[in-house]
Amino acid sequence: MSSFIPKPYPKEAVTVRVESEYLQQIDHIIALDGRFSRSSLINQCVKFALNNIDMKDLEVDEPVEVSEFTPEESLV
């Protein structure tokens, strides 16, 4: 029989206020697709935004590089 081996959770819990309209859209996507949790979809949206933001519009010296999304992460 296999043993259950807990693994560290690679994410941090945070509280974020999301506009009702956006949350409704997120929940609608989840209901239609069914493969993602709300947290997973929001993480993917944040990662996409960070990977595609135009750093010229921000007042930062060096952009922070975010790793590209991999499909395996969507199952978390």
How many folded domains does the chain comprise? 1
Q: Is residue 12 part of a domain?
A: no
Q: What is the mean pLDDT of residues 59-71?
A: 62
Residue 66's pLDDT is 64
Torsion angle of alpha carbons 55, 58, 61, 63, nearest 10°?
Answer: -30
pLDDT at residue 17 greater than cutoff 70: yes
Whole-number Å distance between alpha carbons of 73 and 40: 8
Band the pLDDT of 36: cuts 50, 70, 90. Answer: confident
Whole-number Å distance between alpha carbons of 55 and 26: 26
Residue 64's pLDDT is 63
Distance from chain centroid for Cα 3: 30
Q: Is residue 47 part of a domain?
A: yes
Its domain, for residue 38, covers 18-56
Q: Is residue 13 part of a domain?
A: no
| Residue reference for tokens 């395996």 | 72
Query: Is 29 buried (19+), middle (13-18) or exposed (0-12) by CB count in 10 A?
Result: middle
Mean pLDDT of the chain: 81
